[in-house]
Amino acid sequence: MKIPVLFPKIFDYPFTYKSEIPELLNPGDFVKAPFGSSEITGVVWPYEQKTEKNFKIKKISKKIDVKNLNSSMIEFISWFSKYNLVPLGMSLKMCLLNKDVVEKDFNNEFVKFKIKKSRNKFVLNTEQKESLSFMRSVGNNYNVTVLEGVAGSGKTLVYFERVKDLTNKGFQALILLPEIALTNQFSRRFQEFFGTEPAIWHSGTTKKNKSIIWKGITEGKIKIIIGARSSLFLPFKNLGIIVVDEEHDVSYKQDEGVSYNARDMAITRASLENIPINLVTSIPSIETYNNIVNKKYYITKLNKRYREASLPNIEIINLHSEVLNSQSWIANKTISKVNQYLKKGDQVLFFLNRRGYAPFVICKKCGYKFQCPNCAVNLNFHRKLNRLLCHYCGHKSLLSRICKDNKKCDLLFCGPGVERIFAELKKIYPNKKVEIFSSDTLKKNKFTNTLLKKVEKKKIDILVGTQLLSKGFHFPKLNCIVVVDGDFSSHGYDLRSAEKNIQLYHQLAGRAGREGNTSTIYFQTYTPDDEVLLNISKNDPHAFLQKELLLRKEKKLPPFYRLISLIISGKNEPLIMKFATSIKSKLPQINEVNILGPVLAPITKLKKKYRCRILIRYPKNLFIQKYLSQSLNKIKIVSGIKLEVDVDPINFS
């Protein structure tokens, strides 16, 4: 009997085997089979790959005693592969653990994840009850419901109740979070509500814990997973609901390796499983907002913050009217405003979305700029490391350089990063406890936990942080935020920069005044009339979204059109451009499909490789991947050149 088997390798089709084992094999069953010189794990696939070639058919070695992939999961793997133009085998690989399955039993380890029937000490307010009631009323079959609420309105509590509904009925639940850093504080809230430790899945989860979780999920013994993007590919036995928290967050888009948008893929998975999905946000992404407008998604709103806390006031500090001392980045007016909050015992956050001490360094004498030898970018100076660092490839180098007069270069540190603001604040407030909160300082989980607890217990007076701080953290005593650089000059190559800024600063404002005290967010800026800044200060994100939708429609941009980016990279710039031009000539010519480029990428060189892009723009109702995959399969990749495909790109750098 012929059996098609798909392997977690870079092939786009299953291989044909014969079975002489006693067990009956069905699609989704895991098997061991000879492949090349070794035996590897594969999955029995529902269809065979047709071929004219005659070849010797090998035998399947054995059936693995692990719960099979159900038909909706097989369908999801196939659809994911077609939509994202990823080989079928690579899509399967994402559902497995190191290209394999977990056969070991972990029954003792599952106990800690068992949900306890605890007395619920959380009481929903009227608005939360109405939202929960609405979410229940749309049913347990496939639907997309957006839970929109101002930061601090208690959205988490509402969807926890909804998750509890379904797990009480024996279903499993998946809660997606955009950032690993969020999981620690979130875990504590989860534990308080469900009375048990959450099963957490992300790149930092240990191999052993991943094995336990993978096995528990396939057997239905672990009910709730909290995870980053990759948890979407776990082979749940009986998935009943998916929640995408902070659905607007661009971290859901994976750019490295296999490119995909986890939010969009979660919606597809929910539709194939025929289960509800909740998108949770304080400001919807433009795509989600468009689907709400078109009545494709349901929506329920929480308009008031928990315990009636008011949103922070917004004040603009015009730096043209202020005198800044030499090598200072904080205006005197800002300091006097901050002092009022510190006197009351409140915490203050200085926000700057730039890591390190200075974004670039230049010599005053010879004009030499310290640039990365591998990438077409400036090196950032990190004072803590006393090194120049590339934020793209990780290259490190020392500051010392001999100038044209045979003496050391006279260095000028241009612009501030969080370390520089930290140093300035330590001088202004020598008796206050000041800490930096950025991805550089949060490399270790223990440190993250310690720092968060210090903030919550009011052991830190002043925080200096990057955008990581805007995401879902609860700081009870934080009532004053200073945006050090409120100038939103848009990157020409980022069509979403305005949308991202509105969402970021709305989220950031949501960190302040959560316990009901008066709070303010101050924007230091040289451009007080900037449209993005005025939109933020009006605190009416929907007006911005409506306007942005009209603009996108006029410019034929997402969500009205779709984009696919082809990124060609290699060590020889003329060669990649020549190759890209030849690719363009082979792409399908279809009505209303625009093929733009090739052009060199805005960051021309990354990790020693030059990069150029071709952008394909096409109408939303056209599934162009079908034609594109045929063309791309015929292209012979030249040695030393890499071709990547990014469907629905978010990053154009």
Predicted pLDDT of residue 449:
66
User: Is the per-residue pLDDT at 340 higher than 70?
Assistant: yes
- 153 and 248 in a common domain: yes
Residue 555 within any structural domain of the chain: no
Q: What are phi and psi of 549, to 5 degrees?
A: -60, -45
User: Is the per-residue pLDDT at 444 higher than 60?
Assistant: no
532-568 per-position pLDDT tens digit: 888 888 878 888 999 999 999 999 999 999 999 999 9
d(CA 632, CA 646): 13
The arithmetic mean of pLDDT across residues 589-615, rounded, is 95
- 132 and 16 in a common domain: no
CA distances from 433 to 83, 346, 411, 415, 624 (A): 50, 12, 30, 24, 56
- 179 and 114 in a common domain: yes
Q: pTM here?
A: 0.92
User: Is the per-residue pLDDT at 119 higher than 70?
Assistant: no
Predicted pLDDT of residue 72:
97
**Tokens 């999905």 map to which residue?**
277
**What single DSSP character describes residue 21?**
S
Residue 381 within any structural domain of the chain: no
Q: Which of 49, 70, 93 marks a domain boundary?
A: 93
Write out the two tokens for 289. Answer: 């907002």
Nearest to 304 by CA among 520, 517, 149: 149
Residue 297 within any structural domain of the chain: yes
Give bridge partners of residue 276 from the DSSP assignment.
143
CATH number at residue 522: 3.40.50.300
Q: Which of 549, 584, 614 marks a domain boundary?
A: 549
The arithmetic mean of pLDDT across residues 479-507, rounded, is 81
Number of domains in the chain: 4
The arithmetic mean of pLDDT across residues 130-158, rounded, is 95
Residue 303 within any structural domain of the chain: yes
Q: How many CB atoms lie within 10 A of CB 274?
A: 11
Q: Which domain holds residue 625?
A: 561-647
Using a pLDDT cut of 70, give the percent of the chain over it.
Answer: 96
The arithmetic mean of pLDDT across residues 99-108, rounded, is 93
- 173 and 41 in a common domain: no
CATH number at residue 599: 3.30.70.600
Residue 363 within any structural domain of the chain: no
- 187 and 52 in a common domain: no
Crossing angle, helix 155-168 and helix 126-137, to 10 degrees?
40
- 534 and 475 in a common domain: yes
User: How many CA atoms lie less than 13 Å away from 544 in the CB half-sphere?
Assistant: 24
**What single DSSP character describes residue 327?**
T
User: Which of the two residues, 588 and 451, has the higher pLDDT score?
Assistant: 588
Nearest to 245 by CA among 471, 442, 73: 471
User: Is the per-residue pLDDT at 225 higher than 70?
Assistant: yes
pLDDT band at residue 494, thresholds of 50, 70 and 90? confident
pLDDT band at residue 179, thresholds of 50, 70 and 90? confident
Chain mean pLDDT for the chain: 91
Q: Which of 291, 307, 323 marks a domain boundary?
A: 307
User: Is the per-residue pLDDT at 515 higher than 80?
Assistant: no
User: Is the per-residue pLDDT at 491 higher than 60?
Assistant: no
Residue 401 within any structural domain of the chain: no
Residue 409 within any structural domain of the chain: no
- 567 and 435 in a common domain: no
User: Is the per-residue pLDDT at 447 higher than 70?
Assistant: no
Poorest-confidence range of 7-16, 314-323, 483-492, 500-509? 483-492
- 88 and 134 in a common domain: no
Predicted pLDDT of residue 295:
97
User: Is the per-residue pLDDT at 415 higher than 70?
Assistant: yes
d(CA 126, CA 44): 51
Poorest-confidence range of 253-257, 294-298, 495-499? 495-499
CATH number at residue 8: 3.40.1440.60
Residue 283 within any structural domain of the chain: yes
- 535 and 498 in a common domain: yes
pLDDT band at residue 307, thresholds of 50, 70 and 90? low
pLDDT band at residue 256, thresholds of 50, 70 and 90? confident
- 319 and 301 in a common domain: no
- 422 and 336 in a common domain: yes
